[in-house]
Amino acid sequence: MDAKPKTERPAEDSPIASLEFEQPILELERKIAELEHLSVSTGMDLNGEIKPLKERCAHLIRETFARLTAWQQVGVARHPARPLVADYVQLLFSELIDLHGDRAFGDDPAILCALATLDDQKLLFIGHQKGKSTREKIACNFGCAHPEGYRKALLKMQLAQKFGLPVLTMINTPGAYPGIGAEERGQASAIGKNLLEMSRLRTPILSVVIGEGGSGGALGIGVADRILILEHAYYSVISPEGCAAILWKNGEMAPVAAERLRLTARDLLELGVADEIIAEPLGGAHRDHRQMALNLKQHVLRHLRELRALSTSDLLERRYAKYRAIGRWM
């Protein structure tokens, strides 16, 4: 499958193109667009008015995103225009061969598995799919995978091990699917088995949290030698809403829960859960898909080179030590 660039950001008149705290930025951008249109249509030189507004807008974006609360970071991670796995597939890989099925029940569209080529690096790619259209979202359960999705992922990872291919996973899920059917088919055991087998898989594993990293649904493809996280993504044992419902029986406490959960990229780096933060374009990945993909590509290729240089025994020893160190109280 050839890589084709997507639209960098949604149209300005899109009703889902912004979060509440982005409104002042969009208002300023609309004024700039109006002046630019007026300049073109009338031939008037309005650069003297446009340039200061652009500088002011850039400053406003930088200032706004530098002081986001944890709850606002969650909003950015869920932004409707944020690039999804499907976007990164189009922008990053020159070749992609889909792999389907778990050999037991069926194929889960919420998890994409594929043999892929990133520059000259051949790898196994696994990622949560949320879907773009309403039909796709329903088919993918909004990124909430069934047990057959995790079993499919494990089978393909074992295939990668057999052929000496590194594994790249992209995490973007609110959590594993909690329905009765998923429980009947062994959701917990499927995720648990993935945790065990990924911990001892004899090939490099690199995981990137690109949006939401929710609970066991994320961990099911997230046990890795290196865990990278995008600047405005989050990774947590539970969603802020779920935490608020359990602790306070009140969904309005979600912003407080987000702060207490220590789920932002900076928190995770400080706690040793994440190994590196990948910077997003000014104003978030949703404002420039292509630039975000380029940033991601540079980090992925560097980490894959470093991991492939390690012997298998060294790789496994370091992976073991990494997870033993997470959560250690000093």
C-beta of residue 163 within 8 angstroms of C-beta of residue 232: no
Pair 151, 280 in one domain: yes
Note the pLDDT of residue 328: 66
Q: Are residues 151 and 44 in the same domain?
A: no
Which stretch of 4-18, 41-55, 95-109, 185-199 has the lowest confidence by average pLDDT? 4-18
Please give the residue that has the higher pLDDT: either 18 or 34: 34
Q: Do residues 51 and 150 share a domain?
A: no
* Whole-number Å distance between alpha carbons of 151 and 242: 26
Quick one: CA dihedral 154, 156, 162, 167, positive or negative?
negative
pLDDT digits (tens, 9 = 90+) for 261-284: 999 999 999 999 999 999 999 999
Q: What is the pLDDT of residues 133-165, one digit of tens each?
A: 899 999 999 999 999 999 999 999 999 999 999
Based on the domain organization, do 59 and 121 belong to the same domain? no
Between 98 and 35, residue with greater pLDDT: 98
Pairing label, strands 205-214, 95-99: unpaired
Q: Is the pLDDT of residue 71 over 90?
A: yes
Tell me: do 233 and 285 sit in the same domain: yes
| Residue 6, pLDDT score | 42
| Residue 148 belongs to some domain of the structure | yes
Statement to judge: residues 139 and 270 lie in one domain: yes
What pLDDT, on a 0 to 100 scale, did the predictor assign at position 13?
37
Q: Are residues 62 and 209 in the same domain?
A: no
Based on the structure, what is the number of domains in the chain? 2
pLDDT band at residue 14 under the 50/70/90 scheme: very low
182 and 270 both lie in a single domain = yes
Instruction: Classify residue 175: in a domain, yes or no.
Output: yes
Domain that holds residue 99: 73-325
Whether the model clears a pTM of 0.75, i.e. scores above it, the answer is: yes
Considering the domain architecture, whether residues 232 and 248 belong to the same structural domain is answered as: yes
Question: Does some domain include residue 9?
Answer: no
Residue 13 lies in a domain: no
**What's the pLDDT band for 42 if we cut at 50, 70, 90?**
confident
